[in-house]
Each structure stands twice: as structure tokens, then as C-alpha cells.
Structure 1
């Protein structure tokens, strides 16, 4: 089982294009890690835009050691066209990673706040509200998805 993880709007609220205040960064990390500890078989791949600015090791350093050890990779970066986002770009990067890793048969789920970044696989998406992040309700939805191998019901 693979979890594709976004940061902004998930592990902390997103601030409408503004940098997240330092005291709010990763404010939902403890909740996320608690869910992950209940599912020790789940591998994590970073799909966040943070991968454009930081190395995999720098991103792992944000997490507790037991969770960091389960972060296996980052999705490939797709360049913007004319500085604009592509529709379903995040989904495409996830599918590119799955193909490159030879994991087409692996169950997966994405935890993200940008549902517009997904078209064909919205059934594998656990969506956070961007200005809230991973709250208790969304954490329970994530638990259901992980328990059901990526299926929401």
C-alpha cells in the first residue's frame, strides 16, 4: 500500500498562496503520524510541491524517525506550461511514479487538498480542506481508505 502525501493544506493549513507561518507548519503532523502508526505496512511517497525546494532527506527530517523510514521516494516533477498549472498534474505525477517504480498492481491512496489535481482516480483521493488541513474527520476517512486498500467504502 502506497500513500502519496501532499504537505500544504494537509499537514498544515494553506494560506492562499502566502507562506505558512512558521508556528503553523506541520501542525497536523502528530495526527498524520498517529494514523500511519496504525498502518505500518503503508509506504509513503511525497507528492508535495515541497519536493521542488528540498531533497528527500530534508523532507524526511520533518517526520519522526519511524515514519521517516517509511518515506521511500518523491513523485517526479512536471514542469508548468507558460507558468500555469496543468489540470490533473498531481495525478499524472503519481501515475508516472507508479509506472517508473513498476508498482502498477500496488494499492494506493493520495492525501491532498487539491481535488482539481485529480480526474480519473478521485476514488483514491482523501481530500483535506485547504484552509484547515488534516482534521479528525479527514483522518478517519484516511483510516477507512487505508483499511480498504485505497477504496473509500
Structure 2
């Protein structure tokens, strides 16, 4: 199982205005995925933050013990900007094909980045990012995808 992770609108508000709120929701994400039933899940960065940053730089905000679970980033493609509707989904599918990933879930705040696979997207509120209240629904969706 692979999680494709956006930053803005997931790890912090998409409207953050200071470094104090940057990555404010990261402890919630890490705590949730440290649970034994989710400890096998790895992450690929699908955020636009991947542009111009290498994997080591993208791992920096995460706790040292969590960084090894960030295993890659989706390929950059110009069609994401030329055709923004479904663009992130196309990049994720390209990564899945190249790395033989069958079970995946995207953590994102923008449904317009997806078209055919909205059932594999957990949408966070852009204004808050991932919250404690989201976790039961997130667990249910992960379990549903893993069972399929």
C-alpha cells in the first residue's frame, strides 16, 4: 500500500501565513501511520513541493524515524499545468505503473486533481489540513482499499 502525499492543505493549511503553522498537522499524520496496522505503508510525495527539491529535502520536515518511509516522489510533467484537472492523478498513475503499485491512496485537498480514481482520494479541508477528526474516515478508506 502506498500513500501519495500532498503538503499544502494536508500537512498544514493551504493558507498558512507563517513558519509557525508550517507542518502543523505532521504530528497527526505520523502518529496515525505509526499505529501497527498502518506501519507497513510507505509514502510518495505528490505535492508541487517536489518541484526543485530532491528526496532528502522533501524528507526534512518528517521525524528521523519516519523519513525512511518517504520512498519517492511522483514524476513532474508539464501536462499537470497544461491540463490541471486530473493532472496529479495522471502523475500518480505513471508512478504506480513504473513501480508496480496496485494499492494506493492519495491524501490531498484538491479534488480537481483527480478524475477517474476519486474513490482512492482522501480529501482534507484546505483550511485545516489533516485533523484528528479525519482519522476514523481515513482508517476506513485505507482498510477498504487494502481489502480490495
TM-score (normalizing by structure 1): 0.87
CA distance in 2 between counterparts of 1:149 and 1:88 reads 20
Match of 1:37 among 17, 34, 51: 34
Match status 1:92 vs 2:105 = no
**Other-structure match for 2:77:** 78
Give unpaired runs (5+ residues) of structure 2. none
**Other-structure match for 2:117:** 121
Deviation string, structure 1 residues 98-118 (Cα, Å, up to 9, x no partner): 011122xx2111100001111
8 Å CA contact retained: 1:10, 1:111: yes
- Structure 1 runs of 4+ aligned residues shifted over 4 Å read none
Q: Displacement of 1:23 after TM fit?
A: 0.7
> SS of 1:66's equivalent?
coil
CA distance in 1 between counterparts of 2:103 and 2:115 reads 17
**Other-structure match for 1:145:** 141
8 Å CA contact retained: 1:12, 1:134: yes
Deviation string, structure 1 residues 17-69 (Cα, Å, up to 9, x no partner): xx642111000000000111011110100001100132110111110122211
Give unpaired runs (5+ residues) of structure 1. none
8 Å CA contact retained: 2:79, 2:87: no
CA distance in 1 between counterparts of 2:92 and 2:140 reads 21
Larger helix percent: 2
CA distance in 2 between counterparts of 1:66 and 1:27 reads 18
Q: Displacement of 1:139 after TM fit?
A: 2.3
CA distance in 1 between counterparts of 2:94 and 2:17 reads 29
8 Å CA contact retained: 1:45, 1:71: yes
CA distance in 2 between counterparts of 1:20 and 1:78 reads 28
Deviation string, structure 1 residues 55-97 (Cα, Å, up to 9, x no partner): 110111110122211111000011158x655210010000000
8 Å CA contact retained: 1:14, 1:20: no
Question: Are residues 150 and 137 of structure 1, via their aligned partners in 2, closer, same or farther at CA, if it must alter by over 3 Å?
Answer: farther
